[in-house]
Amino acid sequence: MATSSSAGLGTEIVGVINKLQDVFTSLGSGPGGQAGIDLPQICVLGSQSSGKSSVLENIVGRDFLPRGTGIVTRRPLVLQLINRSASAPGANGIDKTSDKAANADEWGEFLHLPGEKFYDFHKIRDEIVRDTEAKTGKNAGISPAPINLRIYSPNVLTLTLVDLPGLTKVPVGDQPRDIEKQIRDMLLKYISKPACIILAVTAANTDLANSDGLKMAREVDPEGTRTIGVLTKVDLMDKGTDVVDILAGRIIPLRLGYVPVVNRGQRDIETNKAISSALENEREFFENHPSYRSKATFCGTPFLARKLNMILMHHIRATLPDIKARISKNLAQYNAELLALGGGLGEANSGNIVLSVITEFTSEFRTTIDGNTNDLSLNELSGGARISFVFHELFNNGVKTIDPFDQVKDGDIRTILYNSSGSTPALFVGTAAFEVIVKQQIKRLEDPSIKCCQLVYDELIRILGQLLAKVQAFRRYPALRERFNAVVVNFFKQAMNPTLKLVQDMVAMQACYVNTTHPDFIGGHKATAIVTERLNANKPPTPASDPKNPRSAVNNNKDLDVDVKQESGFFGSFFAPKTGPKKKGVAAMEAPPPNIRPQSALNERETMETEVIKLLINSYFNIVKREMIDMVPKAISLTLVSFSKENLQRELLQELYKPEVLDELLKESEFVVSRRKELQTMVAALNKAEEIVAGV
């Protein structure tokens, strides 16, 4: 099919990709997949009855692919064709066995059987079947793990093709019920890569619009820029029909065009018709057919092989710079991750490792609280800024919203005033009543203060969680991570005890001693004056006296008058006026009830005293709130935040830097061990890949 004059055409550059495919296939997930390198390749796509296998065998010139009913290709076959010069004629000494065409110039090699040459192409077929069943079993299941086969021959052009499983719609026999989806997902994984050239094989005697291969190709390549069409069974088309319109791009245009070919029929295969004879028949068909004779040089398998060779060569040249860049980038990335994971356990003294982790952790803890970290978030508050938010927003607003009179009503104040005066009615507003009420309200500040402590504690735990996820050593040593977490949490809990005690003592101090001489306190005289002014402003004006009417004159001595009908004395509001007849000459006096409660609205004196008390309470309570808003954050910072910054490292050293626990703490996780091994494999593969592409 190809001659030795074509030897070397693209051999070097295609050979580079072949070597890269072998290197990356050893990683276990297809050419370049696991290493993140998208290698240029030609993937053969088509339905089971499209003639894919015959096209590939015609290109190679030998029978070597498994045949049968149902799914025959159950794993991707990476077929690397290498052109080599023919040796001198003569006996080759090869045991031809069942393969009559076996010779010393053509052989195959499998990547999974290094050093073993297969001169008998029938044995190549058998090995493909054997290795497929070893991975997938015999139940017609599929596997994405590729088989790498390299064929050396003077009769091929240097070319690499990936034969993918044929598209199917209905499970047959013991095939999995979702076999169609499995195959489709595998094919899409290959052909979706931008570096993949799609070789869509379609039978010419079917409607092109219904071609399964072209349909799937258009899903990932809607413009047809990297798809080449192969039309098989051209010789089986109805008389008077041809594929000229398809070749001209008038049906479904493809930038890389279409190539018509003629394969061996089923009878030819059964009678073991030589592929060389089939290729000769193909040439004669196109040269003699009235529709194709004018363009016969652009038809047939030899032209298809040359075209694929040129397409692949140019495609590799176009993508090679990107391949080099990706190899370098991924190599640097994996080396950095490998460095972060560290080497084996014997690489350093265990004590030094623990000491290093403690130092790194406590340093990160301090910088996170102080806001000096390099990982400052642009979207949300973090670290010490969140603690500041707790102090100056949550606690501040929480204290300010406490209203001293939402639980103490005017009637309650009046009752306390009477109770605090004892058996002797007070002449002035009682200090005792003011202190009783204000102390009760001060104690209400304890809850938000304790809540503030708890919120700051929660933020420290949050920072702990972030650092446990950030420090790389904790991924490597899960036991060390768990121990770190336990020690630090316990340290914070211990620091909370004096913090809560201090905050509670601060509230108790405020409630213990009411400092009425505070410069910001309004004072009794000023409060009385303000209330008097307010009440007088709300009073109706006093009517003027009429000298002609002595009854209208103001009685300035009314307090000296005694009126038995008036019941508005000191305790007047505690008893509702009694109605009904009273006996003359008998004192209107009864025993007090068991429970005495106010029965009416406040009189003028009570209103005056209540308003003065409320003004004094409000003034002093605001002073206390300001002081607590200022002092509680300072107290928490002293005994919890700053204390943790200064003493956490010492605590960790005392609890973790012990010879008897070091080995237990430094047991690596299974993930780290497997990930290190995986990274070492990928780094070795990428280093080799870098050497391969360095000279190109």
Residue 62, both tokens: 């030998």
Cα–Cα distance for residue pair 286/234, rounded to 1 Å: 10
Class of domain 4-87+96-327+686-694: alpha beta
User: 218-227, pLDDT tens digit by residue?
Assistant: 999 999 999 9
Provide CB contacts within 8 A for 103, sequence distance 6+: 92, 94, 119
Q: Report residue 196: phi and psi, to 5°.
A: -95, 125
Q: Where are the domains of the chain?
A: 4-87+96-327+686-694, 351-373+381-526+606-665
CA dihedral (29, 33, 39, 42) positive or negative: positive
DSSP per-residue letters across 623-684: HHHHHHHHHHHHHHIIIIIHHHHHHHHHHHHHHH--HHHHHHHTPPPHHHHHHHHHHHHHHH
Torsion, CA 190, CA 196, CA 201, CA 207, rounded to 10: 90
- The one-letter code for the residue type at 640 is L
- pLDDT tens per residue, range 486-540: 999 999 999 999 999 999 999 999 899 988 888 877 766 666 667 566 666 766 6
Q: At 151, which helix (H) or strand (E)?
A: strand 147-153
pLDDT 10s digits, 244-283: 999 999 999 999 999 999 998 888 888 888 888 999 999 9
| pLDDT over threshold 50, residue 169 | yes
Tell me the C-alpha distance between 229 and 63, whole Å.
23
Residue percentage of the chain with pLDDT more than 90:
37
- 77-83 and 147-153 strand pairing: parallel
Confidence of residue 447 (pLDDT cuts 50, 70, 90): very high
Kindly report, residue by residue over 420-439, the tens digit of the pLDDT. 555 455 544 567 777 888 88
What is the pLDDT averaged over residues 433-457?
A: 89
CA atoms of 223 and 220, how far apart (whole Å)? 9
User: Which runs of E-coded beta strand occur in 188-263?
Assistant: 196-203, 227-232, 258-260
163/158 Cα distance (integer angstroms): 16
- Tokens 């000279």, located at residue: 695
pLDDT tens figures, 532-551 = 666 667 666 655 555 555 54
How far apart are alpha carbons 517 and 282 in whole angstroms?
A: 116
Q: Is pLDDT at 324 greater than 70 in this prediction?
A: yes
Cα gap 577→567, rounded to integer Å: 7
**Whole-number average pLDDT of the chain:** 81
Specify the pLDDT at position 239.
Answer: 87
Q: Could you tell me the pLDDT band of residue 8, with boundaries at 50, 70 and 90?
A: very low
pTM: 0.60
Q: Beta-strand (E) ranges in 416-571?
A: none
Domains 4-87+96-327+686-694 and 351-373+381-526+606-665 equal at CATH topology level? no
| 195-242 residue pLDDT tens | 899 999 999 988 888 899 999 999 999 999 999 999 999 999 988 899
Q: What is the mean pLDDT of residues 455-466?
A: 94
How high is the pLDDT of residue 416? 63
What pLDDT, on the 0 to 100 scale, is given for residue 519?
A: 83
* pLDDT value, residue 332: 93
The CA dihedral of 476, 480, 485, 487, to the nearest 10 degrees, is -160
pLDDT digits (tens, 9 = 90+) for 119-161: 999 999 999 999 988 888 776 678 888 999 999 999 888 888 9
Q: C-alpha dihedral over 481, 482, 484, 486, to 10 degrees? A: 160
pLDDT(564) > 80: no
**How large is the average pLDDT for residues 93-99?**
57
Q: Could you tell me the fold of the domain covering 351-373+381-526+606-665?
A: Four Helix Bundle (Hemerythrin (Met), subunit A) (1.20.120)
Determine the pLDDT at residue 347: 47
